[in-house]
Amino acid sequence: MKKINQVIRAFGVIGAFWLILYKFLYPKLQAFKSSLELLEWGVKHEAILKRKNNLIHLQGLPNFPKSSMWFRPFTSDSLVVRQHYFSYELQPVVEYFKQIKKEPQLMIDAGGNIGVATRYMQEYFPALKALVLEAAGSNCNVAKINLDPLRSILWEKALWWRSEELNFNNNDSAWAIRVSDKPGNGNGKVSGISLSQILAMEEYAEADFIKIDIEGAEEQVFELDKKLPEFLEKVACITVEPHSEYGRELLERKLKDWGYQIEYHGELIFGFR
């Protein structure tokens, strides 16, 4: 209520109404527009489109006509598909491994959503195995369909700075699931696990690439997980999406201190060894 009163004082009642309406509607309109563009692309390029159980199956993706993806129409799923297969968000990682002539064997995808980033990387590197962490059960249900169980393991967990039970802070968008160790306004709880705990496990100790997109929790991960630097020494490449200016400065400082060369591409910070 305090925040609403501050908005009203700053913008007036009418201005505050439109600002709040815009904040509520914009993500939904963006998802709607992105879904239409994805479906339009499928029709234009004669991709095979099928609908089953409230999911759309798109058979045929840019540069990968034999690949397919399941997604929930008119949700943030279509934004994620476009982000990777149309905007090539992780292409700098692909080019990095090609440049150093290394075939990555293992990636950790923290904030895996419906599995699109993992699938994209495996398009280029068929031998790549993945551990995918996703906090939201609804996203996991779709990821299970998209991911190859022979190449990917899916955990319904949240990346955090230590192992503990966490609360959901908001469930408004499948693309913006936030968790916290404090009481939240979302529904349900999820188990948190630290990156150093994962990298300490024998089967995940040799990760080549780590992708982190965890809606603000990256600040706690990089600031409070004190064992992280030693475990990242063998990790060739890491990408993180910051969600605040403080987070951006923190990530850049930490990654540089830990021996990574920093690059910015879009909203992501890339660390290369």
Give pLDDT tens digits for 108-154: 999 999 999 999 999 999 999 999 999 999 999 999 999 999 999 99
Contact yes or no for 237/97 (Cβ under 8 A) = yes
Residue 8's pLDDT is: 47
Mean pLDDT for 182-202 is 89
Structure tokens at 128: 């790549």
Q: How many CA atoms lie within 13 A of 199 on its CB side?
A: 25
Residue 253's pLDDT is: 97
d(CA 75, CA 78): 6
Contact yes or no for 104/273 (Cβ under 8 A) = no
Ordered domains of the chain (ranges, CATH):
1-87 (no CATH), 88-272 (3.40.50.150)
Grade residue 251 by pLDDT with cuts at 50, 70 and 90.
very high
Phi, psi of 136 (to 5 degrees): -90, 125
Number of separate helices (H) and strands (E) present in the chain: 9, 14
Grade residue 170 by pLDDT with cuts at 50, 70 and 90.
low
d(CA 133, CA 155): 5
Residue 143's pLDDT is: 98
Structure tokens at 137: 């059960």
% of the chain surpassing 70 pLDDT: 86
% of the chain surpassing 90 pLDDT: 70
Residue 184 has pLDDT above 90, yes or no: no
Report which of residues 169 and 175 the model is more confident about: 169
The count of other CB atoms within 10 Å of the CB of residue 147 is: 23
In this predicted model, what pLDDT tens digit does every residue of 65-90 receive, in sequence order? Answer: 999 999 998 888 999 999 999 999 99
Mean model confidence pLDDT for the chain: 88
Residue 252 has pLDDT above 70, yes or no: yes
CA distances from 155 to 24, 131, 135, 225, 270 (A): 30, 8, 8, 20, 24
CA proximity to 163, closest of 183, 133, 184, 185: 133
d(CA 258, CA 269): 14
